[in-house]
Structure 1
Amino acid sequence: TKDYIDLTIKCVEENGPYIVIIPGLALSHSRPDVSVKKTGLSLITLSKPVCFDCDNDPVDIVLTLAATDDTFHLEKLQSMAEFISDEDNIEFIKNAKTTEEVAKAINEFEPEE
């Protein structure tokens, strides 16, 4: 919901650009909240990058995680961190032709144990 979006923005305003975790990519999230109707992940690639006034600027990929519970929240954050730590996955996102192929790659990704 819009309330969850506002929470993610508030986190950055209060804590700084901690969500910009690698050059060009932000992993936006907030704690699980009643404003989250269903656990999910969204991804947007920006044709005009934005700056957060940090070393990893500018950002042209934003992943946003919304979770209904702490367990899933932490598991998915860890999984996404592993997925995006692979430079090939970042290039894949940037060059993908369809949203379906990106969603499939993320959904099928299995973090190493």
Structure 2
Amino acid sequence: MLREFVKLGHYKFAKEAADWEEAVRMSCEALESDGTVEANYKEDIIRCIKKYGPYIIIMPNVAMPHSQECARGVHKTAIGFMRLNNPVSFSPGEEDKEAKLFFTLASCNSEQHLQNMTKLSELLMNEGAVEALMLAETPEDLLKIQEDYLD
């Protein structure tokens, strides 16, 4: 999975984001750059979070920004990865609602999306890989994590 992020250019490393909204926008940039999603997709995600709360926080320090399947402006099924040096809070004062790692989902093919979710689940169940991702700074780091923990 990490190898695929590097191959497709679906990754971003950043120091910080001003707030969770900026972080969500930043997490969509790599998917926008190759036409996987259109610019409206990030705003759709932000609207959903404002409406339903921080449902995208799936475990401490890990967010999975997404909107509904077959959302408007989604042209390919993919996952984008972003790591921030400094976490953003989705609910001030609640440490368990902070995120440094973002796995942004785009889906227009349910079978491929299910395969992506399975790979992502396997990745997130590997504590060593998640800890290494928290420190990753380059695409080479992603490839090394893939080799060390997932192959």
TM-score in same-fold range (> 0.5)? yes
Any gaps of 5 or more consecutive residues in structure 1?
Answer: none
Q: After superposition, where does 1:10-49 map in structure 2 within 5 Å?
A: 10-30=47-67, 31-49=69-87
What letter is aligned with 1:47?
N
Query: Cα gap change, 1:38/1:78 in structure 2, threshold over 3 Å: closer, same or farther?
Result: same
Q: In the alignment, which residue of structure 2 is the partner of 1:87? A: 127
Partners of 1:103 and 1:35 lie apart in 2 by: 30
> How many residues get paired?
109
Q: 2:96 aligns with which of 56, 63, 87?
A: 56
Q: In the alignment, which residue of structure 2 is the partner of 1:75? A: 115
Partners of 1:29 and 1:88 lie apart in 2 by: 25
Q: Does 1:6 align with 2:46?
A: no
Taking structure 1 as the reference length, what is the TM-score of the superposition? 0.77
Query: Cα gap change, 1:99/1:35 in structure 2, threshold over 3 Å: closer, same or farther?
Result: same
SS in 1 for 2:65: strand
Partners of 1:101 and 1:41 lie apart in 2 by: 18
What letter is aligned with 2:57?
V
Aligned-CA RMSD value:
2.6
Q: 1:96 aligns with which of 106, 125, 136?
A: 136
What letter is aligned with 2:103?
L
Q: In the alignment, which residue of structure 1 is the partner of 2:16? A: none
What letter is aligned with 1:57?
K
Q: In the alignment, which residue of structure 1 is the partner of 2:21? A: none
Q: In the alignment, which residue of structure 1 is the partner of 2:18? A: none
The percentage of counterpart residues that share the same residue type is 29
More displaced, 52-61 or 1-10?
52-61
Partners of 2:143 and 2:111 lie apart in 1 by: 22
